[in-house]
């Protein structure tokens, strides 16, 4: 049996063969790296979800204003303008979703 030099992460104690150095020397802990990436991903998902919620709220707000103006006087320029704004909000929300490439997330926590 050969002796294997080990490196232990000072932050989490994950230990691996000391032969696995970084390209420039030294060590990077894969367990800590995964934790940092998971935290960063959670932040990005929260930002995405907040953005989509803002888009949906804007669409609902402009749709409501358009419906109310149309109920008051469907043929009025004000109602037409409100419907135009609602259409713009919908297009904006659709463009944001497309730009974010929103698709269902895997359900693995
Ligand atoms: Zn670590």
Tell me the DSSP string of 37-73.
HHHHHHHHHHHHHHHHHHHHHHHHHHHHHHHHHHHH-
User: CA 12, CA 61: separation in Å to the nearest integer?
Assistant: 48
Tell me the residue range of the domain where 75 lies. Answer: 6-100
Cα of 105 vs centre of ligand 1, distance in Å, is: 27
Cα of 4 vs centre of ligand 1, distance in Å, is: 19
**DSSP state string for 4-34:** --EEE-TTT--EEETT---TTSS---HHHHH
47 lies in a domain?
yes
* Res 104 pLDDT > 90: no
Give the pLDDT confidence score for residue 3 in this predicted structure.
82
* Res 30 pLDDT > 70: yes
Cα of 72 vs centre of ligand 1, distance in Å, is: 64
Give the pLDDT confidence score for residue 107 in this predicted structure.
72
Give the pLDDT confidence score for residue 1 in this predicted structure.
57
Cα of 31 vs centre of ligand 1, distance in Å, is: 5
Cα of 45 vs centre of ligand 1, distance in Å, is: 24
Give the pLDDT confidence score for residue 62 in this predicted structure.
97
Give the pLDDT confidence score for residue 101 in this predicted structure.
86
* Res 108 pLDDT > 90: no
105 lies in a domain?
no
* Res 50 pLDDT > 60: yes
91 lies in a domain?
yes
Give the pLDDT confidence score for residue 105 in this predicted structure.
67
C-alpha to C-alpha distances, 81 to 88, 101, 108, nearest whole angstrom: 11, 30, 45
Cα of 69 vs centre of ligand 1, distance in Å, is: 60
Tally the domains of the chain: 1
């Amino acid at each position: 049996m050969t002796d294997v030099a080990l490196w232990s992460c000072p932050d989490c104690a994950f230990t691996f063969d000391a032969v696995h150095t970084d390209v420039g020397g030294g060590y990077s802990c894969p367990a800590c790296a995964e934790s940092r990436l998971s935290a960063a991903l959670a932040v990005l998902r929260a930002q995405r979800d907040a953005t989509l919620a803002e888009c949906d709220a804007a669409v609902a707000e402009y749709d409501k204003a358009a419906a109310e103006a149309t109920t008051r006087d469907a043929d009025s320029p004000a109602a037409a303008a409100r419907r135009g704004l609602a259409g713009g909000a919908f297009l904006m929300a659709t463009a944001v979703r497309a730009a974010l490439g929103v698709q269902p997330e895997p359900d693995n926590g």
